[in-house]
Every structure is written in C-alpha cells, then in structure tokens.
Structure 1
Amino acid sequence: MDNGPKPMFPNPEISRFLSERIDKGDFPSAVYVVAQKGEVVFADALGHSVLEPYRIVNKFDTIYDLASLTKPLVTGLLCARRIEAGELTPDSAVAHYLPEFDRTDKQMITIRELLTHTSGLPAWRPLYILTENEPDRTAGAIANLDLENKPGTHVLYSDLGFVTLGFLLERITGHRLSELAQQEIFDVLKLKQTLFNPVLALQTGIAASETGNEYEHDMADQMEAGHYREWRQHVIWGEVHDGNAYFLGGAAGHAGLFSTAFETLQIAKQFLSASSRLLKPATCEMFRVNMTPDLNEARSLGWQLAETKDSTAGPDLPKDSFGHNGFTGTSCWIDSGNERIYILLTNRTHARKLPFSNINAVRREFHTLATDALDAYLS
C-alpha cells in the first residue's frame, strides 16, 4: 500500500479560506485531506511548517504532532480491538487491571467511563510535578487525585483518563504502548511516517510547535502545583509538545503520536466498517452510538459525536458523525454513514505568543466547505 503523497486537487474555496486564516495568524501551516469511500477527493498543503528558527515551506507529507488524536487513533483503537477479542469488557472495573484504582472512590470506575470521559477524573494535572519527575509513580498519582464528579454522571474531557488507559493496555499485554501501536496498527497498515518519538533526522520534515512549555507552565502556576526545574525553553520541534507525554517517554495514552495527513487518513479508515482492516463491521458501528445519553456531551468509545452542542463538526455533518481535536491544532472527523473523512492538521502553537488562537470556528467552517465541495463534486 502506498500511503505517500500523490498529485491532489485542492479545493479553491477550502484552500482560500485556510490561507486567509494563515494570513490572520491563526496558524502558520495547514494540510487538509477530504476523502470519500476511501479515496482522497480534495487535499492541499499551505503555509510554512516552520517559521522559527528558520522558514520551511509546508508540504503534503509534513509530519505533525497529532496531540490528542492519539486518544482515538491509537489508544481507542487498541482498546476496541481488545473489546472485540473479549480481552476487555467495557463495563469491567479499571481496578481489576490496575490495582492502584482499588480504593473507595475509584474501585467502580469502568473501562467505558474512561473511554467516554465520564470517570470523574480531572481534565489535567502536571504529572511530572505530582510524581516528582518519577514516571513509575504516575498511575498511583492519578488514582490518588480527588474525583471532579461521581463516575458516570458527567462528561469531563480528561487527559488523565487516557493516560490511565495507556497504562492499562501495557499491563494486560506486557508491551509498551508504542510497541503495540507499531505492531498492531502502523506495521499492518504499512505506515512509514506515523510514529512516536521521531528521530532527529526527520526534524526538518516535521511541523514545529511552541517555544518552550509556557502554556503548561502557566496552567501549573495557576493551580499552584509546585516548583519544577525542567521546563523546556527551546522550540519544541520533532518532540512531543504535551508535557505529560514528554515526561512519560514520548508515548502515552493521551498524546505523542506523529503522522502526516495521508497516513492519518489510513488510520481513520479503520473506524469505517466498509474499509477497516483492523476491526469488524459491528465494532465500527459502536463509534456512532451515543454512550452518554442525557449527559452534557454525546460520546462514543474514544470519540465525540457531532450531536454534541457546539462540537467542532459544525452544522453540516450528520449527528452520528464522530471526531476529535488535538491541542496542537489538529482534527479528524468521520461521517460513517456517507463514508466521508475530514482531516485538518495545523500547528497553531508555533511562533505565536499566548494565548493561542481558538480555531474551533475554523474547523467548523472547514467541514462546511468540505461537505459542500463533496456534494458538488459528486452531483
């Protein structure tokens, strides 16, 4: 399978819109891919993937830090494979696999609640501070935190829940998460530019991120988390932007994945029953099902559903479409019913002082323009 860049046809309206947002300073670069029934229909690469320390023109095969797209594309997919095989049961207690969670307030938290962000775990904490920079203490440190909500009663998007799922997968398999992803996803799909911890030789082909960890530093200060001496000060370029993932060795259940738009598409296709090589059709249908009815967000296993109020899907994707965003400026949305996939990769944290641009409106407009373009193309 050749997953590399091919001659593509940009859509003028989409490319013009994203170029305007680059000119406005929302992000320095963007690559988009719009596909239907497994085939790319529209794609383009815009802007500069690096502005500092020098400028590099963006390309179709630029590798991006996908940030939280790691959650569904790696951790969620690996969990779904184990649910399908009967190795995991969604309503089993996390404490059954991670003894650290065998405590009064957390012993009933389930796998499903971690996957749907209803466990009650906090959204984020600087684990490198909580553990005094000792990764082996991380699972216990998370289990020791107070819950924000009673499990199963409220959707609270939580990095810590997916960090926990990463540990759980490692415990039940005896393999590192990065090894599982390589063996079960990247190798099977013949992905050559999808990886954790890129080697230095790849750096110039990677979109750069923030200078230092100023954003996380500010968050840690606001919650009075404590002193930390090892904040990064350099341009984060070719290493994971997320501080907790960096602390955990570059590969964690919530962040750390790097890929191109075209290879991200190959993983996204594994969630469609018509094209998946890694999951059975019945398993793929789970991602369209709202598992948090009557709560504040509509969530399936690892994904947010478009029926969620103010989701970045926008108004034109069907309600059972599912998607995810990444903090660095990435997103992937899947309209399973029409076999459509929308991928937008940007590096909004690069070469910009805080606050970073909120690009949710850009994502919604991208989906609207792409849907209109697909409808016109196929009519």
Structure 2
Amino acid sequence: MRSLVVILIGLFHLLVRSQSLDISQLNPIAFDSVWVDKKVDSIITNGIKNQAFPGAQVLVAHKGTVVYHEAFGFHTYDSIQPVSLTDIYDLASVTKILGPLPALMKLVDEGKLDLDVPFSTYWKPWRRMKNKRDLTLREILAHQSGLQPYIIFLNEVLKKNGKLKTRFVKPTKRKGFDAEAYPGIYVKNRFNRKMYRMINRSKVSEEKKYVYSGLTFLIFPELITQLTGKSYENYLNDTFYEPIGATTLGFLPKSKNFSNRIVPTELDTLYRHDLTKAWVHDENASLLGGISGNAGLFGTAEDLAKMMQFFVNFGRLNGNQLISEETVRDFITVQYPENENRRGLGFDKPLLNNGERTLAETYPAPEVSPDSFGHSGFTGTFVWADPKNQLVYIFLSNRVYPTREHRNLYTLNIRSAVQQVFYKALDSSQ
C-alpha cells in the first residue's frame, strides 16, 4: 500500500521520456495515493459490477508527469484477458479532435483555411447548395451550423433482409473493391463519393442553434488531402504523431503488427456478425475503409496523453510552435455562449456554469476550469485537458461490449466521478 507520497519525475512514466514534448517547470506532486486508489477503485469496480464496461483504465498527468495510470477488469465479462496499461482502444469520436482537428488547426495557421469564410470556398460542391454555401467552418466546428446530426450510411448497404448489397460490397477483394471494411467485407472504391453526395444534399436547419453533427468529419480527410497534397493518414503521422512520439496512434491497427493487445468492442449482430476487434466499430468509418475523420483512430492511453499534453502546451513541441498558440486558444474557446452553446471549435467544453452544478448535473467534473476541453467517444472513451490546472485525464473503456445498449457508464456518471477524485486530491495537496 502506498501512503502520502511525493511523486517525483523518476517514479512514473514521463510524457517527455521520448523527448516529444516540451514541458517547463516540472515540480514534484504530492497527494494521498491511498485515498485516490480507494476512491477510484470503488467507482470503477461499481461500474464493472453494474456492467457499465468489462474493464477500463485511467491515466492522469499533472504538469507533464504521469501521476496515475491503472488498469481495471478484463477485456470481456468472461474474465479471461485482464486489461493492460499498453492495450490499444478504438477511440470512436475522440478521433475528431486527434485526427482531422490538429490538421485543420495547422492549415488555418498556414493560411490555407479561413474559419470565417464560407466552407464552400474549399468544399466546392457546396457552392451549388443554397442551404450550405454560406456556412462557415467556425459554425460547422462549433456545431452551430444547423447541419443534420448523422446519416446512417449502413442503410445504403444493407438489404431489408439484413444481407449486404453486392453492388456496394464484395466478400473478397477485387477490381474496384479495394477498401477492406472487415474480413470478408470489401467496399466499392467510389462508395465514399456516394457518402459525400448524400452529405452535400442533406438538410440544414434554418434555426442556428447547438446541434452536434459529425457529417463534415467524414469529408475533412478528403479536404485535408486536397490542401496538403498528402494522404490524410500520412499527413497526420508525419506532422503530429511521429514527432510527438505517439507510436500507436493511427488507423487500421490490424495492419501495424503491434505487440499490444487490442480491446474488443461490440458483438455486432447486424453488419459484421462477429465480435468487432482491431477493426473500427463505427459503421460509417468502416464503410470508408476504416480511415475517417469521425472515427477510426486507435491508440494507447499514454499516446492519447501525449497528444492532449501537446494541446495543453498550446501547440509547442520541443521548443517549436508546431501550431500557433493563438490558433490553439481560438479552437479551445467557447464560440457561441450567447446561444447556450458550450462548444469550442471541434473540442467539447464544460457545461456553461458547470462549476455551480452538482456532480450528477455536471459535464465533466464540476472542478474543471472553464478553459478545459476534450471529447468523448461512443465506445466508452474520454479525454480531457485543463491548461489552467495543468491536468490531462484519459479514461478508456469498451462500454459497448457486448452491446451498445449498455449505458451505465453514463447513468452512473463514472468518468466525471473519477475525474473529480484527482481534482480533490490535488487541491488537498496544495
């Protein structure tokens, strides 16, 4: 058992051990680790007992130092494979802020994108769409544009009897069907164009209010490729993941030959008819061959922490400003509070007046600063960063196992409750 301890740099993993991040003024951190262990274990164990998830892991970094990283439970409820600190998870919508978003930030920095001109300036099909041609990228990223929340493209691929339409998918790779969505499912090369057309023609609400929409995140990879001259995947790896040292962060982990175990997600009875593992859970991303802007990223807790620490450092890497501080600050700032919209640009933010609410009413923990930001993922993932308090919080689980109907992760408010433990611990240590 650990008692009140001073956690020094050498006692835990450092986010800077690969010399990937520039952290200044690292100070020893002291908190009652026995109390923290007891509280976190109680919350997570209760979640497992109530089938919120079969297993999870929590990583917390303070001032660039990992001060807590623990794994709980198993990959599945059969209790065969315990969760490991090096396991790789399907990040679901966390992809949005760690995939296309840093690329868009970089392109804004370089003057290749302007947040306040019509997005149709860059996505030309929208010039012909009366309901979309004047929407700005700022409105889109803040979910203030009126765009339709979601389109279920799987409906275009499945027949009424549940079988796959062979005009769009084949059981084996062949000419014109190169994108592997899953073993035995190869998608027509041009299916992405069908998706783009449906997005282009989708409805837009005349009322401009906060409505979460992930539609443009399906087309951002194509836009990023057009503006950079590199494939979306290579651009992210070369510009961000490799320099930052996030070696497991990427798409299609099955093709990477990692020694890390990959945590399974859902037992799919509709589309893949299999336990989905090492292949993206999100059906829309799957139909894009697993490489998308709305989902598809996989990674370890440590690599997620490196990326979130990069944002906490306002875009600075090894003394170089990879993304300007001005741009990072703009993206993490609430854009339309007058419309009761808490969102930044791509980033999620705390509920407005979050600190005045009880834990049951808040999102995330009530102690987070208004400057903090992050995102959640449908599979049970959550990342949050707080520049004011110099805290990075990573929560990973596979709450969709064996089915997405398991929602006790939300009803028990587990992620916020665990996050609150560390704010109280650090507050009591100061």
After TM superposition, the score normalised by the length of structure 1 is 0.87
Q: Deviations over 1:4-56 (max 9, x none)?
A: xxxxx78312133112211221001111111111111111111112447x831
2:64 aligned partner:
38
Shift of 1:275: 7.0
Question: 3-state SS of the aligned residue for 1:262?
Answer: helix
Confirm or deny that 1:87 pairs with 2:112. Answer: yes
**What is the percentage of aligned positions where both structures have the same residue?**
26
1:113 aligned partner:
139
User: Which amino acid is 2:246 matched to?
Assistant: L
Change (3 A) 1:311 1:333: farther
CA distance in 1 between counterparts of 2:145 and 2:156 reads 20
* Count, aligned residues: 355
CA distance in 1 between counterparts of 2:342 and 2:267 reads 35
CA distance in 2 between counterparts of 1:263 and 1:199 reads 18
CA distance in 2 between counterparts of 1:149 and 1:261 reads 40
Residues 272 and 284 in structure 1, CA contact (< 8 A), matched pair in contact too? no
CA RMSD across the alignment: 2.4
Which residues of structure 1 form unaligned runs of 5+?
4-8, 215-230
Q: Give the greater-gyration-radius structure (CA).
A: 2
2:204 aligned partner:
147
1:340 aligned partner:
391
CA distance in 2 between counterparts of 1:96 and 1:178 reads 23
Residues 335 and 341 in structure 2, CA contact (< 8 A), matched pair in contact too? no
Confirm or deny that 1:276 pairs with 2:316. Answer: yes
Change (3 A) 1:56 1:298: same
Residues 50 and 56 in structure 1, CA contact (< 8 A), matched pair in contact too? yes
More deviation in 327-336 or 202-211?
202-211
CA distance in 2 between counterparts of 1:21 and 1:242 reads 24
Confirm or deny that 1:49 pairs with 2:75. Answer: yes
Q: Deviations over 1:262-306 (max 9, x none)?
A: 100001112123673232222222244211121232111111221
Residues 53 and 409 in structure 2, CA contact (< 8 A), matched pair in contact too? no
Runs (4 or more) in structure 1 with deviation over 6 Å come to: none
Q: Deviations over 1:186-238 (max 9, x none)?
A: 11112221110012654870111001165xxxxxxxxxxxxxxxx11100001
Question: 3-state SS of the aligned residue for 1:32?
Answer: strand
Shift of 1:86: 1.4
CA distance in 2 between counterparts of 1:34 and 1:367 reads 9
CA distance in 2 between counterparts of 1:366 and 1:253 reads 28
1:366 aligned partner:
418
After TM superposition, the score normalised by the length of structure 2 is 0.77
Which residues of structure 2 form unaligned runs of 5+?
1-15, 19-32, 158-166, 169-190, 355-360
CA distance in 1 between counterparts of 2:110 and 2:330 reads 15
Shift of 1:344: 0.5
2:275 aligned partner:
235
Question: 3-state SS of the aligned residue for 2:148?
Answer: coil
CA distance in 1 between counterparts of 2:211 and 2:225 reads 24
User: Which amino acid is 2:199 matched to?
Assistant: I
2:286 aligned partner:
246
